[in-house]
């Protein structure tokens, strides 16, 4: 990843933070983008203190002007954009309703789609021009294995993550002539919060074949691979990283 510039959305906490730290460790200059501007700044400062290169950006990915500004800041800070990891989503840091489908409000549904689906689309649209300039780029979208198997009491979240699968495959087709690869990961239950409850640990471990609940470090290798030149022959693929929870 030496010389590469990676933009990671939702990078102030949890999985996004882990992706940012790993790509920086592998030599990438990282743009830490998040709705939580102070959190993004803290992550960028830690990466810099550890010898990496990072720049923090406060962004609401559901906002068209904000995502355009994010891409402009990335180019301004590092001169290019090679990688986008679309991690920002409503799930843990931004809480979502967990109720039957007919109890979800229209406002909750629309906000979920605005962040998880429109936000992913807008972030792609913002960075692709910089990638096209070099006829090369990597986009890694974050879906969920719930999009592959369904999950009760959060139909708006599952629907949004299902949309990411179609978006990924369609963009892979559209952007292949530009040398831009688009892939997605579909994580299982990942203990990304600071202090998971015993109940959540038990549920996470029970959802997969392999022993031991997943933690953020279990996903960073796959994201780093898809962001690197090692995955250049791969596009339009969905990788389920879930300990065998879905096959």
> Which residues are marked as active site?
157
C-alpha closest to that of 44 among 34, 26, 32, 60: 32
Q: d(Cα 111, Cα 97) in Å, to the nearest integer?
A: 11
The single residue listed with the structure tokens 């203990």 is 191
Residue 142 near residue 15 (C-beta atoms within 8 A): yes
Residue pair 16/5 in contact by the 8 Å Cβ criterion: no
Tell me how far apart the alpha carbons of residues 22 and 29 are, in angstroms, rounded to a whole number. 11
Rg (CA), the chain: 17
| φ, ψ of residue 138 in degrees (nearest 5) | -130, 125
């Amino acid at each position: 990843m030496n010389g590469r510039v990676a933009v990671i959305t939702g990078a102030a906490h949890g999985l996004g933070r882990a992706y940012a730290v790993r790509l920086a460790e592998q030599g990438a200059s990282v743009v830490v983008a998040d709705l939580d501007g102070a959190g993004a700044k803290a992550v960028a400062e830690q990466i810099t203190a550890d010898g990496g290169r990072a720049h923090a950006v406060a962004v609401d990915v559901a906002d068209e002007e904000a995502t355009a500004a994010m891409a402009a800041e990335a180019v301004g800070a590092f001169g290019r954009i090679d990688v986008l990891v679309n991690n920002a989503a409503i799930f843990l840091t931004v809480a979502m309703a967990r109720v039957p489908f007919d109890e979800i409000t229209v406002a909750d549904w629309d906000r979920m789609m605005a962040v998880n689906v429109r936000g992913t689309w807008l972030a792609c649209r913002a960075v692709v021009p910089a990638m096209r300039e070099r006829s090369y780029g990597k986009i890694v979208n974050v879906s969920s294995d719930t999009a592959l198997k369904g999950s009760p009491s959060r139909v708006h979240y599952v629907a949004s993550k299902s949309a990411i699968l179609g978006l990924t495959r369609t963009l892979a087709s559209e952007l292949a002539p530009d040398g831009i690869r688009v892939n997605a990961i579909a994580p299982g239950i990942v203990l990304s919060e600071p202090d998971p409850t015993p109940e959540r640990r038990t549920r996470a471990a029970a959802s997969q074949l392999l022993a031991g609940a997943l933690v953020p470090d279990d996903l960073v290798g796959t994201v780093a691979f898809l962001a690197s030149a090692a995955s250049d022959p791969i596009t339009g693929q969905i990788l389920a990283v879930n300990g065998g929870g879905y096959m």
